[in-house]
Chains A and B, each alone.
Chain A
Amino acid sequence: MPVYYLEFLVVALGLVMLMVDAFAKLEDKRSLARFGILGLGVVFLLLFLVEAPVSTEGAIWKFYSPADKLSLFFKGLALLTTILVLVMAVDYAPVVVAQTANPEPGAHPQSGLGEFFALPVFACAGLMWMASANNLVSIFVSLETVSITFYILVAYLRRNVGSLEAGVKYLILGALSTGFLVYGFAWLFGVTGSMELPAIAEALAKPGVNTTAALFAFALILIALAFKLGAAPFHLWIPDVYQGAPTPITAFLSVGSKAAGAIVTLRLVSPFLASPVLVAKVTTVLVAVAILTLLIGNLAALSQRNFKRLLGYSSVGHSGFLLMALASAPRDSADAMLPSTAIAFYLGAYLLMTLLAFLVLTSLRPVIAGEDLDAYRGLAKRSPFLAAALLVSMASLAGIPLTAGFFGKFFAFKMALDAGQWALLGVGLVAAAAGFYYYLKIAVSMYFSEPAKDSDAAAIRVNPLAGTAMGVLMVLIVLAGVAPGVIVGLFS
């Protein structure tokens, strides 16, 4: 089966979900989400049946790279993220209904819920395509497929001011960054005369390349990518949008959008890093952005009182570690796969631990009204399972050994050490130490404090679907923390 069938299947699944929502009279539209989970699960299994194409002559291969293991890995990440987002969306449905339902008599009590489940599936198709995009055009179109879906989803709670505010901020800044990206692509095309990444890499590596123009193109593209990744100084939208968006969409943004940004960054920056004439300057810029991102993300997270904002800043901080790996890419081609290995592993680990945290967050939504950190006090007494899940997630985000997060950070640190990036290494250590504090702060308030009010002391029920997902994620986090080879084996 050719690899691009997967995206067609996912788009078809999304269309079927929309049609069913429109024409079948569903009693409870949450079954739509379960159908979506099932469908995406089937596509996930099909990933293992993909065959390499017999020839790469056809027109499609100009826009779409033949299946390599890394792009299949990223497609798997996209599918897994979307499945888990839909699991969260099932739990979150009452909130969406309350904010979107049609008040007219005779309307479906859950009107407006169906699209909330279908749109992430389209975003997933965009993410999967992006993993294989090898042409500036296909990179741009797939990136926009994802972005436009996110513009809708972020502002989905149309009676909630916070959600609308987040939507507007995201839309305006997102459109701006798209502008930078296109302008950068235009310059890059002007410098290299090609839209295809292999040809671009070849042209940039020539000694006669116009370095000023190439660096200008790089700067413009980096601005756009920094926005997608949430790297400083283009991270300002993150805390507000994370806080305002519906929680499952925050999770999707945090993982999906970050993975998309990282893949595109990897693809677009690698040609610059491989060019002997450009690598020194490009590295300097990347190091500066990485240092700034590490510091801002982790230090700003220290004082946050809102859980979603905290996770927002933490996501900025993790972008810093991703950039650290990228900026420390070895100069000789022997280890050319190293940055992609480190980044792919980091993203895999980040997916597991972040989605686990968001799953807990959505499961608690019915019983804990706000996202204030104090609301999590004494959680261990009310639900030992959810507290343990959050503990594992926080330990992994902090990078404690025997969790997946440790190896993510370790790879980045090892690369920085080998590359002799001492400033980056020092800042990374400060950032990691700050991370220890703010992640453990949550564990402490869960375990050491009594519930804030007596009325809060009731036990908490976990939806079996979400509970299973949490259990699986916990096992995977520990497994990847003990045997990182399990994940690495998936893409190399």
Chain B
Amino acid sequence: MSTLELLVLLPLLAALAVGLGTPARITALAASVIVLALALILAVNFNTSLEGDGSLQFTSSRPLLDIAGFPKLNLAFGLDGISLVLVLLSALVLLSAVLVAPKEDAIQGSPRLYYLSLLLIGGGALGAFTATDLFFLYAFHELALIPTFLMIGIFGHGENRVRTAWTITIFLGVGSLILLVGLILAVGSLGGTTFDIADLTSRAKSPDHDAGTQSWIFLLLLVGFGILVSLFPFHSWAAPAYAEAPTPVAMLHAGVLKKFGLYGLVRLALPLAPAGAEKWLNLVLLLLLGNILYIGLVTIAQKRLDRMLGYSSVMHMGYAFLGIAAGNVVGVSGAVLLMFAHGLSIALLFALAGWMRERFGDLDFEKFGGLAKSLPRLGLLFGFATFASIGLPGFANFAAEVEIFFGAFAGEDAGMNWIRWATIGALWGVVISAVYMLRAYRGVFMGPKPEKLETPADLAWSDRLPVLILLVALLAVGFAPDLLNQYIRPAVNGLFLVSAG
């Protein structure tokens, strides 16, 4: 069994162990620490000089089905630079989420179900990012969705949690189904003999790949993945779900699982239907402006911290779409880097917001004020998270957004085209996000403290540790984006080489 297979199977085995009765929290912690260690080992052993032609490393493949008339099915894993970065993200957020999760006796209901679900979400995400077989890529993501529904419905807060769980079930269920149709269409039109993504990608280069079919494939994948990533106008499930989900689930879903949709666009939609991508570019631009500008304004109007964070995560997806729409190495690399940066920063914000909700009951802006004085550590950490989310220099988000804007504006000619106009529109998003994040920070941490507000003790070490893990990673990549870009760039380069033929 290869290291990579172990990395994917470990959380699933740990979930099984928890289900069978091992101590829940300790098992989950041990598994997520080992997963992070394995991810780092993979990163260190990853040979960047081998990249460039879409080749994968640490590959393994086990044949599972081989009969005439149906695509061959393999349990196959492999890493390229893009997957590696997302694996690192998943491992970091998983560990942090497990640390943030309440102790067994503080959970109302079954603690085993709680930790089992967290491990399944983490394992599903890791599997989806590393599977090189289309079926397992899809299946692992589904595997992560089911515990998400259960967690929101059972352990969520707020009276509407069952309704919210249903909403997200229906939205994401329909999204997955549309996605499935698109994928089956893609596999069928590319010969219908294999699920291997690399093989499919190279078949998609053939001139026989009908442009009309490609257009359908891309549209289906765009809508399917778009619903999963909360692309405007399919975004309305996201903010209530994150506001009502238990904190670790909000961290894992907003931070990691949602990135699956973007990953799918980069990994599948662009390479499998390049002509379709070109055809629908303007639609994508329009929708992503909806994400950035319209949702940006919606975010400003929010009256509760958790809802505001939920909407902000929807808004930031617009930048990732812009990077992907740019369709060049710089832009797409920026989008991948933003997946990493945004994943960490939103998980960080949800972790802190969750801590506050536990202490203060709810998160209405109007009841807060002046917390920075009595809770300096919270104020400082929240400030860092705020800056990261806005995308100030020094944080990974800055590096990513800069790359995206450069990529989207790139080109020799001096004239304006649609994507340049869209980029100019999107730049205003930076201002919008500064407005809502700073307003929120001022409202909660600055100014006079309302008399009725009682302040609890500041973050203990056990609360600080998960937050610091995320923050350190954000700063490290922010100061040295090359830490990750060395993996991302050649992989994206390879993607374009492969898809351009």
CB atoms of A448 and B165 under 8 A apart: yes
CB atoms of A400 and B146 under 8 A apart: yes
In the complex formed, the residue of A with least CB distance to B188 is A417
Cα separation A334 to B67 with both chains bound (whole Å)? 13
| Segment from A82-90, A224-232, A298-306, A432-440 that makes contact with B | A432-440
Cα separation A413 to B177 with both chains bound (whole Å)? 13
Which residues 429-452 in A have Cβ within 8 Å of B in the complex?
A: 429, 432-433, 436, 440, 444, 447-448
CB atoms of B73 and A485 under 8 A apart: yes
Which residues 381-406 in A have Cβ within 8 Å of B in the complex?
A: 381, 384, 388, 395, 400-402, 406
CB atoms of B169 and A384 under 8 A apart: no
Cα separation A427 to B484 with both chains bound (whole Å)? 46
Cα separation A388 to B117 with both chains bound (whole Å)? 13
B383 interface contact, C-beta 8 A: no
Q: A402-B143, A436-B173, A448-B165 are in contact. Are A488 and B184 (CB under 8 A)?
A: no
User: B67's contact among A330, A341, A402, A406, by CB below 8 Å, is which?
Assistant: A341
CB atoms of B65 and A401 under 8 A apart: no
CB atoms of B65 and A402 under 8 A apart: no
A335 interface contact, C-beta 8 A: yes
Would you give the 0/1 interface string for A46-90, flagging 1 where the beta carbon is closer than 8 Å to chain B?
000000000000000000000000000000000000000000000
A483 interface contact, C-beta 8 A: yes
A476 interface contact, C-beta 8 A: no
In the complex formed, the residue of A with least CB distance to B174 is A433
A180 interface contact, C-beta 8 A: no
Please count how many residues in chain A sit with their CB below 8 Å of the partner chain's CB atoms.
35
Would you give the 0/1 interface string for B180-223, flagging 1 where the beta carbon is closer than 8 Å to chain A?
01001100100010000000000000000000000000000000
Give the shortest distance, in Å, between B3 (CB) and chain A (any CB): 20
Would you give the 0/1 interface string for B306-339, flagging 1 where the beta carbon is closer than 8 Å to chain A?
0000000000000000000000000000000000
CB atoms of B67 and A488 under 8 A apart: yes
CB atoms of A402 and B69 under 8 A apart: no
Which residues 451-492 in A have Cβ within 8 Å of B in the complex?
A: 482-485, 488, 492
Cα separation A485 to B66 with both chains bound (whole Å)? 7
A411 interface contact, C-beta 8 A: yes
CB atoms of B184 and A448 under 8 A apart: no
| B residues less than 8 Å from A429 (CB atoms) | 177, 181
A141 interface contact, C-beta 8 A: no
Would you give the 0/1 interface string for B36-80, flagging 1 where the beta carbon is closer than 8 Å to chain A?
000000000000000000000000000111111111010100000
A108 interface contact, C-beta 8 A: no
| B residues less than 8 Å from A388 (CB atoms) | 19
CB atoms of B146 and A395 under 8 A apart: yes
CB atoms of B65 and A488 under 8 A apart: yes
Which residues 140-169 in B have Cβ within 8 Å of A in the complex?
A: 142-143, 146, 150, 153-154, 162, 165-166, 169
Would you give the 0/1 interface string for B65-109, flagging 1 where the beta carbon is closer than 8 Å to chain A?
111111101010000000000000000000000000000000001
Q: A384-B113, A447-B150, A448-B153 are in contact. Are A330 and B143 (CB under 8 A)?
A: no
A286 interface contact, C-beta 8 A: no
User: B63's contact among A400, A418, A433, A485, by CB below 8 Å, is which?
Assistant: A485
Cα separation A400 to B120 with both chains bound (whole Å)? 15
CB atoms of B174 and A338 under 8 A apart: no
Most B CB contacts (10 A, CB to CB) among A384, A400, A402, A406 go to: A402
Cα separation A429 to B64 with both chains bound (whole Å)? 26
A414 interface contact, C-beta 8 A: yes
CB atoms of A448 and B154 under 8 A apart: yes
In the complex formed, the residue of A with least CB distance to B169 is A440
B138 interface contact, C-beta 8 A: yes
User: A483's contact among B69, B75, B143, B177, by CB below 8 Å, is which?
Assistant: B75
CB atoms of B65 and A447 under 8 A apart: no
**Interface residues of chain A: helix, strand, loop or mixed (majority):** helix
CB atoms of B68 and A335 under 8 A apart: yes
CB atoms of A418 and B66 under 8 A apart: no
User: A414's contact among B109, B113, B184, by CB below 8 Å, is which?
Assistant: B184
| A residues less than 8 Å from B19 (CB atoms) | 388
CB atoms of B166 and A444 under 8 A apart: yes
B298 interface contact, C-beta 8 A: no
Cα separation A400 to B68 with both chains bound (whole Å)? 24
B422 interface contact, C-beta 8 A: no
B475 interface contact, C-beta 8 A: no
Q: A447-B153, A488-B65 are in contact. Are A418 and B192 (CB under 8 A)?
A: yes
| A residues less than 8 Å from B455 (CB atoms) | none
Give the shortest distance, in Å, between B200 (CB) and chain A (any CB): 15
B34 interface contact, C-beta 8 A: no
User: A432's contact among B177, B185, B192, by CB below 8 Å, is which?
Assistant: B177
CB atoms of A384 and B75 under 8 A apart: no
User: B64's contact among A341, A432, A484, by CB below 8 Å, is which?
Assistant: A484
Would you give the 0/1 interface string for B103-130, flagging 1 where the beta carbon is closer than 8 Å to chain A?
0000001101100000000000000000
Give the shortest distance, in Å, between B125 (CB) and chain A (any CB): 14
Give the shortest distance, in Å, between B445 (CB) and chain A (any CB): 36
Q: A388-B19, A448-B162 are in contact. Are A414 and B177 (CB under 8 A)?
A: no
B441 interface contact, C-beta 8 A: no
| B residues less than 8 Å from A413 (CB atoms) | 184
| B residues less than 8 Å from A433 (CB atoms) | 173-174, 177
In the complex formed, the residue of B with least CB distance to A433 is B177
Q: A384-B110, A440-B169, A483-B64 are in contact. Are A414 and B70 (CB under 8 A)?
A: yes
In the complex formed, the residue of B with least CB distance to A413 is B184
In the complex formed, the residue of A with least CB distance to B138 is A401
Which residues 358-402 in A have Cβ within 8 Å of B in the complex?
A: 380-381, 384, 388, 395, 400-402
B496 interface contact, C-beta 8 A: no
Would you give the 0/1 interface string for A236-275, flagging 1 where the beta carbon is closer than 8 Å to chain B?
0000000000000000000000000000000000000000
| A residues less than 8 Å from B73 (CB atoms) | 484-485
CB atoms of A401 and B75 under 8 A apart: no
| B residues less than 8 Å from A444 (CB atoms) | 153, 162, 165-166
Cα separation A473 to B113 with both chains bound (whole Å)? 21
Cα separation A388 to B110 with both chains bound (whole Å)? 13
| A residues less than 8 Å from B184 (CB atoms) | 413-414, 417
Q: A414-B192, A432-B177, A485-B64 are in contact. Are A401 and B154 (CB under 8 A)?
A: no
In the complex formed, the residue of A with least CB distance to B112 is A384
Cα separation A417 to B71 with both chains bound (whole Å)? 13
Give the shortest distance, in Å, between B106 (CB) and chain A (any CB): 18
Give the shortest distance, in Å, between A446 (CB) and chain B (any CB): 10
Most A CB contacts (10 A, CB to CB) among B65, B146, B177, B188 go to: B65
CB atoms of A401 and B64 under 8 A apart: no
Would you give the 0/1 interface string for A329-343, flagging 1 where the beta carbon is closer than 8 Å to chain B?
010001101100100
Given contacts A401-B143, A482-B75, A485-B64, could you give 20 more A-B pairs where the C-beta distance is less than 8 Å? A335-B69, A338-B69, A380-B110, A384-B110, A384-B112, A395-B146, A401-B135, A402-B142, A411-B70, A414-B71, A414-B184, A432-B177, A436-B173, A444-B166, A447-B153, A483-B64, A484-B64, A484-B65, A485-B63, A485-B65
Enumerate 30 A-B pairs (CB-CB under 8 Å) in ascending A order.
A335-B68, A337-B68, A380-B113, A380-B154, A388-B19, A400-B142, A401-B139, A401-B142, A401-B143, A402-B139, A411-B70, A413-B184, A414-B192, A415-B69, A429-B177, A433-B174, A444-B153, A444-B162, A444-B166, A447-B150, A447-B154, A448-B154, A482-B75, A483-B65, A484-B64, A484-B73, A485-B65, A485-B73, A488-B65, A492-B67
Considering the complex of A and B, which 6 residue pairs feature the smallest CB-CB distances, nearest first? A401-B139, A485-B65, A483-B64, A448-B153, A338-B69, A335-B69
